[in-house]
Amino acid sequence: MTTQAARTGQFGTETAGGEWKRQGNRFTDRITADSDSGSGEGPDAQGRWPVEAGRYRLVVSLACPWAHRSVIVRELLGLQDAISLAVVDPVRDERGWRFWLDDGHRDPVLATEFLAEPYLGTDPTYEGRVTVPCIVDTATGLVVTNDYPQITLDLSTQWRSLHRDGAPDLYPESMRGEMDVLIDEVFRDVNNGVYRCGFATTQAAYDEAYQRLFARLDVLEQRLADRRYLMGETVTEVDVRLFTTLVRFDAVYHGHFKTNRQKLTEFTNLWRYARDLFSQKGFGETVNFDHIKRHYYVTHDTINPTGIVPAGPDPSVWTA
């Protein structure tokens, strides 16, 4: 069985100008509180699945910043008993993400060795990269969604009936206008920007991505000069999204992706902010620097052909 398509390569696509482009998301059904489907049923005519505790499995890599977002949000909202978690091996080859951390190299719930199996079971014609996070319906083995930005928003807004008491509102309606603009800027220039630096294949493409990345970090540094979090005094969705890039910055992106104007630890406000978040429940406890470094330095063999994983930096700086 072909488990990883070559059309987009392992890491994405490249334009004629050497600029790296992120693959779009193939599976975009949603799990919503207003689905017309009942318990145990599939999606309604609008592609909406019903919110149902214990039915779905969230598949993540602890190395991946896009997947890490959903792990943090699941913890913050207290959804651990409502949606189970599967963690893939941080090292990936041409066959894609694999469940080799589990006994027998198979996920105990999905009974699969590779995440490509439910992908192709859902769409046998699929030829894109197999990505995390994704949510799988355990009853049918079908992939519901791999739409990573929507997954966390839906966990916040559609799964409210299953949130823990006192769960934060990560996407408050009163802030959405301003927050959505900030989310787009952070994604374009920072979350995706580090990848555009790392996978650029021309000097011009790299230079453009590098300048945009640090220009945005400078803006965020200034924004945090007089506020604890990006939207004020409350942790929100945009903080989760920025944190998962910042926590990987010095360990991976600074050297591996050549984002080396300065380290995160050399930003006064961004470093204070990132350490503040790291100290809070749901953030630091979900960071796995071993998985992070092994994934990037071993899997990205075009960037690091030796596969040598750096010994540093010392992670104790996050809690010192």
Q: Among residues 36, 33, 9, which one has the least CA distance to residue 22?
A: 9
Domain shared by 68 and 183, yes or no: no
The answer to whether 292 and 252 have CB atoms below 8 angstroms apart is yes
Q: Tell me if 310 is assigned to some domain.
A: yes
The answer to whether 94 and 10 have CB atoms below 8 angstroms apart is yes
Q: Tell me if 207 is assigned to some domain.
A: yes
Q: Tell me if 3 is assigned to some domain.
A: no
Q: Is the pLDDT of residue 5 over 50?
A: no
Q: Give me the pLDDT at residue 65, please.
A: 99
Q: Give me the pLDDT at residue 11, please.
A: 56
Domain shared by 150 and 189, yes or no: no
SS3 57: strand
Q: Is the pLDDT of residue 1 over 90?
A: no
Residue 14 token pair? 């490249």
User: What tens digit of pLDDT does each residue of 174-218 get?
Assistant: 999 999 999 999 999 999 999 999 999 999 999 999 999 999 999
Position of tokens 């699969």?
112
197 catalytic? Reply is no
Residue/partner pairs of 15-20 with CB below 8 Å, 24 or more apart: 15/205, 17/202, 17/204, 17/205, 18/200, 18/201, 18/202, 18/204, 18/205, 18/206, 19/196, 19/200, 19/202, 19/205, 19/208, 19/209, 20/195, 20/196, 20/198, 20/199, 20/200, 20/201, 20/205
Last residue of a domain, one of 106, 127, 162: 162
User: What tens digit of pLDDT does each residue of 93-143 get?
Assistant: 899 999 999 999 999 999 999 999 999 999 999 999 999 999 999 999 999
Q: Tell me if 132 is assigned to some domain.
A: yes
Which one is catalytic: 56, 119, 171, 195? 195
Q: Tell me if 248 is assigned to some domain.
A: yes
SS (H, E, C) 99-138: CCCCHHHCCCCCCCCECHHHHHHHCCCCCCCCCCCEEEEC
Position of tokens 């994934």?
295
Q: Give me the pLDDT at residue 6, please.
A: 27
| Domains contained in the chain, number | 2
Residues in a beta bridge with 114: 98
Where residue 221 falls (left for φ over 0; alpha for ψ -120 to 50; beta otherwise) is alpha
Domain shared by 188 and 230, yes or no: yes
User: What tens digit of pLDDT does each residue of 252-291 get?
Assistant: 999 999 999 999 999 999 999 999 999 999 999 999 999 9
Q: Among residues 20, 26, 31, 19, which one has the least CA distance to residue 5?
A: 26
Cα separation, 201 vs 178, whole angstroms: 34
Q: Give me the pLDDT at residue 15, please.
A: 64
Cα separation, 267 vs 187, whole angstroms: 19
Query: For the packed helices 203-223 and 268-278, what is the interaxial angle rounded to 10 degrees?
Result: 80
Q: Give me the pLDDT at residue 9, please.
A: 47
Domain shared by 115 and 214, yes or no: no
Q: Among residues 186, 229, 240, 189, which one has the least CA distance to residue 70?
A: 240
Domain shared by 177 and 128, yes or no: no
**Per-residue confidence at 39, pLDDT binned at 50, 70, 90?**
confident
In sequence order, what are the residues at sequence separation of 6 or more whose Cβ sits closer than 8 angstroms to the Cβ of residue 156? 73, 77, 169, 170, 171, 237
**Helix or strand holding residue 14 (H, E):** strand 13-14
What is the average pLDDT score of the chain?
94
How big is the chain by its Cα radius of gyration, in Å? 19
CATH number at residue 135: 3.40.30.10
1 or 121, higher pLDDT: 121
Domain shared by 248 and 306, yes or no: yes
Domain shared by 209 and 84, yes or no: no
Q: Tell me if 6 is assigned to some domain.
A: no
Q: Tell me if 297 is assigned to some domain.
A: yes
- The percent of residues in the chain predicted with pLDDT above 90, rounded, is 89
Domain shared by 61 and 181, yes or no: no
Domain shared by 72 and 150, yes or no: yes
Q: Give me the pLDDT at residue 14, please.
A: 58
Domain shared by 81 and 149, yes or no: yes
Domain that holds residue 300: 173-318
64 catalytic? Reply is yes
**pTM of the shown model:** 0.94
Cα separation, 142 vs 121, whole angstroms: 7
